[in-house]
Amino acid sequence: MMTLIVAIGAQNAFVLRQGLRRQAVAKVVAVCAISDAILVAVGVAGFGAIVRRWPQAITVAAIVGGLFLLAYGFLAARRAFKPGSMSVAESGSNRPVLTALALTWLNPHVYLDTLLLLGSIAAGRWLFGVGAVTASIAWFVALGFGARLLSPLFAKPRAWRVLDGLIAAVMISLGVVLIAGW
């Protein structure tokens, strides 16, 4: 179960990045944890049966999500090649929250993992769902707030470039796989 939550993806990369920047961390962690809780609950309630009746939904989600991941990957690549100064101060902007919402709700991997895979394993077993939600909350809190421990490493612009390069490679690869697979 934890492997579904901990898998490197757009959402986790963004939470890590926000934790390193110390920007809207609590809000981003809350958005991701609450969103996962909703998705797990819907999956446990039996959403997988609905999608099995309309399999085209997965194709649409894969294509739209793949395009979204490509765009996010290209933005990370642009940051890697043209790094700006990284702020470590808290920001009052809602942009990180909106980005977290987009990376969660537009990401097809989230639906495949929480609604279909986890939902088919846990269908009707609410205690299993509670465990999945607890694991998700623990992960996002640890990732978002634990990222501060890596701050000394990310005091150097080169470290940000490497991180953005890795994020770009993962996101572009996932986007291509999603689009090519459908």
Decide if 113 contacts 107 (C-beta within 8 A): no
Name the burial class of residue 143, with classes exposed (0-12), middle (13-18) and buried (19+) by CB atoms within 10 angstroms of its CB: buried
Domain-wise residue ranges, the chain: 2-181
Query: pLDDT: is 121 or 127 the higher one?
Result: 127
> Is pLDDT at 92 greater than 50 in this prediction?
yes
All residues at 6 or more sequence positions from 1 whose CB lies less than 8 Å from its CB, including other chains: 118, 131, 132, 135
pLDDT band at 87, cuts 50/70/90? very low
Q: Which amino acid is residue 33, in one-letter code?
A: A
pLDDT band at 182, cuts 50/70/90? low
Nearest to 37 by CA among 107, 131, 103: 131
Give DSSP secondary structure letters for 117-142: IIHHHHTT-HHHHHHHHHHHHHHHHH
- What is the average per-residue pLDDT within 110-130? 76
C-alpha distances out from residue 117 to 48, 103, 126, 167, Å: 8, 19, 15, 24
pLDDT digits (tens, 9 = 90+) for 4-42: 556 667 788 889 989 998 999 999 999 999 999 998 888
